[in-house]
Structure formats: structure tokens, C-alpha cells
Copies of this chain bind each other. A is one copy, B any other.
Amino acid sequence: MPRKVCVVVTARPSYSRIRTALEAIRAHPDLELQLVVAASALLDRYGNAVNVIAEEGFDIDRQVYMILEGENLVTSAKSTGLGIAELATVFDNLKPDMVVTVADRFETMATAIAASYMNLPLVHVQGGEVTGSIDEKVRHAITKLADVHLVSCAPARERVIKMGERPERVFVTGCPSIDLAREAVAAEPRDITDTLSGYGGVGADVDLGEGYIVVLQHPVTTEYENAAEHARKTLRAVHEGRWPTLWFWPNVDAGSDGTSSAIRHYRETNALRQIHFYKNLRPMDFLSILLNSRGIVGNSSVAIRECAYLGVPAVNIGSRQQGRDRGRNVRDVAYDSDAISKAIAAMFDQDERPQDMIYGDGSAGRQIADTLAVCDLSIEKMLTY
């Protein structure tokens, strides 16, 4: 009997980050994939990841709406609560042998609690990393609920073990997002305009011929009242610098409404002749666009992780990625239009593209599936110090 592996995907970026593992699980003779798509992965405003998942050929076993409107801290908590109630029913009906939760978004806690409370072995992908904001608390709390840890890098493994987890349950598999980065590097070069056609988006018709930058900036939950202000700083820098820019909307989080409003308002009061806005791209398309860009700006973890492997330069703004292990591609700056502006200018003109394999060598999906097929699944654990 193959082991039934239930993976809960709750957001567009989580899907990108786990996709090659999903493929490897589905293909593995000793594993059976059960795929649950939930939370913002079902929502149009956040890129309707569920459509992408279906288009890429995955069977979706269950879909669960669980995000409350309001995009504030109250609704983040409530969404997580509702998610637990619903995912418990899903697991009770699907009867998986283990449950996989990805990274550290607030709603991944719903998966973690439903599974661990039901005595289902919980597998946590991407524990042991260090960042700012509520993600930090969520990530390490999930580590303490999880039975199997599949981490991106050796320092993450060390941290998970220091928190009291048994070394034999912590595996360095690398991050599956790097697998996509490797595919992107290996793929045929494509014309950017072709890649972007069909996505629509709004804003100016931007000439990408002389180089362009990519922006992806999320609200920071512990600073969410400043989300609009932070978005404006970046907007001003990008607008005034007149770099051809592809700007991507943030995903659902307390404060993203602030971010979104700021963008909308800025756009309506300024003629942004160099910026085109997009909602969501297929992961491979996004990577291809990154690879061809002069660099990425914002606070996305993509800049730290995938771009380390790809060698794409990054301007990382503010506290969101604080503490994360990073490669030589990153320039850190504060929420300051001038500083952002100068860093982008330097990045735009930079020629070197140093690659670092901090988050894996591109075989994480296969390693994850192989580990899940054989690992010990006992759910008892106890602090050893």
C-alpha cells in the first residue's frame, strides 16, 4: 500500500514553492498524492492559483474557502481558526498517512494543528529559517508540532535540532523552489513579450528592450499599519527612476489592502509611464522573467532564495527578510526612497551574476518524495534537554 501524502496548498507562492515535490510524490510508486487547495489559492484577487494547479495537470481532491475579508490581524486569526475546523473534516474523510504543510504563512498553522491534533504525522517543509514578523513565530511553532522536518539548508537543520527536535527526523532536501529555478535556467530562452502575452495586467505599455526590473513587495504583518507608506516609498523610487518595471501584486495578508490601495491611489494620481502591473504569473513564466531582468526589488523571499541560485541581483527592502541566510546577489536597504533608488541604479548597471546554492541544488522535489516514502512516521516526541 502506498503511503497517502496529503499536501495542503494555501497560496500562490506556496504552490510555486512545492510544485516539484508534488510532481515527485505523484510519480513515486510508494506514495499517493492527496491534494487540498485552500485559502487564498482559491481567490481571484490573489491570482487564482487553483486554476494554474488544475492547468498543470494535478487532480484536486478538495477545495476549501477559509479566508475572511478584512485583511487585518483579526481576520488572519479567524481564517486560521475556520481553516482548522474545515481541514479536520477533510483529513477525517481523506484519511491520509501523513500531512505536509509548507513554510510559514499564517494559515499554514491551520494545516499543522488539524494534522497534529488528529495524530497524523506532520511533515514541515522549510522549517528552521529565520525572518522578521509573525512568520517567525508561526514557523517555529509549526516545527514544535511537526514530526518530520524537510529543510532547505544545513543552518536551518542546525536550528531545528537546537530547538529540541531529534536529528534523525530532520532532513536537508533543499527547497523545491530551487528546482524550478534549475528548470528555468535549463529551459529554452524565450521572448519576454511572448511570455507576458495573455496575462493582461494594467498600466503602461512598457518597452522592455533596454532592460527592466521586477517589483514584488508584500505588507509586513507586524508593521501592517505602515503597509501603504512602505508601498509608496518603493513606488516613488521606481517611478522617479523611470526604469522599465513589471510590478506584481502582493498576496493576501493583513495589510495587503493598504498596499493595494496605495498602489491604486498612486497610479491614479501619477502617470506611471514605465510600470505595468500584473496579478499572477505561472511560476516558470515568472522565473523566466526574473532571469531576463536586471534584478528584483521589494521584500519577497524569491529575491533571497531563487535569485541566489539564479544569480539575479536583488534590492531587498526593510525587515521582512531579516535573518534569512542570503547570497552575494542581495543589496539590503531601508524603507527610504533615496536608498531604494540608489540601490536599484547600481543593480541595473551591474554585470556580475554570482550564483549561490544556499537553498539547494535543484533536486529537492525528488529528495522530498524519496524521504517521505521511507521515513519513520511515529508521532511521539519529547524534548531531550
Binding site for B on A (CB under 8 A): 40, 42-45, 62-70, 73-78, 80-89, 91-93, 106, 109-110, 113-114, 116-119, 130-132, 134, 136-138, 140-145, 158-159, 162-164, 202, 221-222, 252, 257, 261, 264, 268, 322-323, 379-383, 385
Contact = CB atoms under 8 A, between A and B. Distances in A.
A70 B170 CA distance: 34
A74 B144 CA distance: 20
A323 B382 CA distance: 8
Given A137-B381, A144-B143, A380-B222, A89 B86 contact: yes
A65 B75 contact: yes
Contacts of A75: 65, 88
A325 to B, nearest CB: 12
5 contacts: A40-B69, A65-B78, A74-B118, A137-B144, A141-B145
Given A67-B68, A68-B69, A222-B380, 19 more contacts: A63-B89, A63-B93, A67-B69, A73-B117, A75-B88, A77-B88, A80-B84, A81-B81, A82-B85, A84-B84, A89-B89, A113-B113, A117-B134, A119-B134, A136-B383, A137-B145, A140-B383, A222-B379, A322-B382
Nearest to A40: B69
Given A74-B89, A268-B202, A80 B383 contact: no
Interface centre among A42, A69, A163, A257 (most CB of B within 10 A): A69
Contact of A81 (B85, B138, B159, B261): B85
A74 B70 contact: no
B117 A77 contact: yes
A306 to B, nearest CB: 23
Contacts of A110: 81
A264 B106 CA distance: 30
A116 B106 CA distance: 11
Contacts of A62: 89, 93
A113 B86 CA distance: 17
B119 A73 contact: yes
Contacts of A73: 117-119
B159 A385 contact: yes
A268 to B, nearest CB: 6
Nearest to A60: B93
Contact of A84 (B43, B65, B78, B158): B78
B88 A78 contact: yes
A69 B44 CA distance: 10
A68 to B, nearest CB: 6
A83 B68 CA distance: 12
A87 B80 CA distance: 12
A84 B89 contact: no
Nearest to A147: B137
A142 B116 CA distance: 14
Nearest to A132: B382
A286 B28 CA distance: 51
Contacts of A83: 81
B81 A113 contact: yes
Contacts of A69: 40, 43, 45, 65, 67-69, 252
